[in-house]
Structure 1
């Protein structure tokens, strides 16, 4: 099991910043918490779900009571976010492949997932106020990347009333989700394309399709090698578009858009159309309401006409 790490989504500034005053975590009206248990068998599904909402991986071990207690604290912290953050607990003893993929050297280890990309948060324990500070920043980062979906509640905080049954997954996505979980990106893409043809204009299908395509294109890519290839071959469309894909995956959205808009200016005919279509796909991945997309759309229109 490996993680594709085409880029880095950086929270280092948070680690070096001074703690800001934070209000006491608020409780959702139903006191719900948002947590699942992750295994190696369903880990691809969890990566897939991070295309829709934030996931925080909490690595722990039954041999470390401290890590178990801290994971419980993380779960309780999800209440105030009302589904914007879902904790995925990973027992590293039962799932060593996940721990290896994340480079875990000790537990607890906490890593965010933003559209399939890992965001290291912290290793070791911190207090509840510090958890809230990191989670607040992670939610802001996700919003910047157009990730604003919410997970379904999975339980209640201590003393909270029983919650309604968690809604079932949309059965239309079952075939695509199964293929994605198996690492069969081509089949997942084909299934989403079928759904898109059957339900044209449905935004969730388009978002899922664009996200899976991006993950498929960047899977296993080496960022340094891709950048060097693009520098050596400035007129190579595939090389330029791969770097743009990697930049979006790594959070360098403006750089990606600027690269492709410049390529639109320098191409014509079928080549220009291929670049335009890739830009539109990346607009969907980033989020159509993202201000960076609005700016890039205007720049694209200027480049085209």
Structure 2
């Protein structure tokens, strides 16, 4: 297999990351493990001051940069994150693991020649491609800020002035002008949520025990709006599962809309989307 360089394919999903090689610990690793659902992740356990660790990390860094976003590398200081070392049953430093769709697999232990590391990375990319993990990581600072259309700018102004209904109309107009405007699509989902929740007691809705569909949809809105996205998605998934197939579409559309509000790269969205896919078939 030849590693592809340069610009991504038009149909390739782009994932914004701070860097292609990231130092992580037990707290921050969760932000990136979910990305293994979309592209391969290489996890490298090292130890500060260890010559073999430093040598292998240099090789891995060079090759991951060369792969130009086809995979992501996470570097863990085993001594500083003993809980991660224990979770991976680590018995030698340095050690490398490949993670695909959340499942780790050991790759190699000890320092390796760069040619050998290249062979392993090539194999990981082959397996990832076979499993549909073909997204491309793009470093944030390299990504261009999208230009706002005048209509989207007007929608922002409407939101600032509290005119949510006007903002809905403007976002809908922006999507007619450019159906691929992702900012307008996400903005429309967000402002429609604001319209639905306007004048409601979010705290009361979030803890309410409800039986009818509309009330459950409102509860899910409130949970998402108050930062409890996972709980909100659970309400919708339960409702989707217990609803007859010919009446499920409004629930699915509400979930898709809330995915946009929370952000498609959010781990809660990734998990809920996977569960929804299973329920659809």
TM-score (norm: length of structure 1): 0.47
1:153 aligns with one of 139, 152, 170:
139
1:136 aligns with one of 122, 126, 129:
122
Q: Are the counterparts in 1 of residues 45 and 96 from structure 2 also a CA contact under 8 Å?
A: yes
Q: Are the counterparts in 1 of residues 229 and 268 from structure 2 also a CA contact under 8 Å?
A: no
Alignment of 1:197 with 2:254, yes or no, is yes
Deviation at 1:28, TM superposition (A): 5.5
Partner of 1:278: 278
> CA separation of 1:210/1:119 partners in 2, compared to 1, >3 Å: closer, same or farther?
farther
- The structure whose RCO (Cα within 8 Å, separation 6+) is larger is 1
Partner of 1:45: 31
Q: Which has the larger radius of gyration?
A: 2
SS of residue in 1 equivalent to 2:97: strand
Q: Are the counterparts in 2 of residues 51 and 208 from structure 1 also a CA contact under 8 Å?
A: no
Q: Are the counterparts in 1 of residues 264 and 270 from structure 2 also a CA contact under 8 Å?
A: no
Alignment of 1:187 with 2:231, yes or no, is yes
> CA separation of 1:198/1:279 partners in 2, compared to 1, >3 Å: closer, same or farther?
closer
Deviation at 1:145, TM superposition (A): 1.5
Alignment of 1:115 with 2:101, yes or no, is yes
* Higher alpha-carbon deviation: 62-71 or 133-142: 62-71
Alignment of 1:61 with 2:47, yes or no, is yes
SS of residue in 1 equivalent to 2:58: helix
Alignment of 1:82 with 2:60, yes or no, is no
Deviation at 1:124, TM superposition (A): 1.0
Deviation at 1:279, TM superposition (A): 7.0
RMSD after superposition: 4.5
SS of residue in 2 equivalent to 1:45: helix
Q: Are the counterparts in 2 of residues 58 and 109 from structure 1 also a CA contact under 8 Å?
A: yes
Partner of 2:86: 100
- Residues 2-35 of structure 1 show CA distances to partners (whole Å, capped at 9, x for unaligned) of xxxxxxxxxxxxxxxxxxxx88x88759xxx721
Deviation at 1:210, TM superposition (A): 7.8
> CA separation of 1:61/1:206 partners in 2, compared to 1, >3 Å: closer, same or farther?
closer
Q: Give runs of aligned pairs for residues 226-241 of structure 1, distance below 5 A.
A: none
1:212 aligns with one of 271, 274, 280:
271
* Runs (5+) with no aligned partner, structure 1: 1-21, 155-162, 173-183, 218-275, 282-305
> CA separation of 1:141/1:277 partners in 2, compared to 1, >3 Å: closer, same or farther?
closer
* Runs (5+) with no aligned partner, structure 2: 8-18, 146-182, 188-227, 238-250
Task: Write the distance in 1 (CA, Å) between the matches of 2:42 and 2:236.
Answer: 26
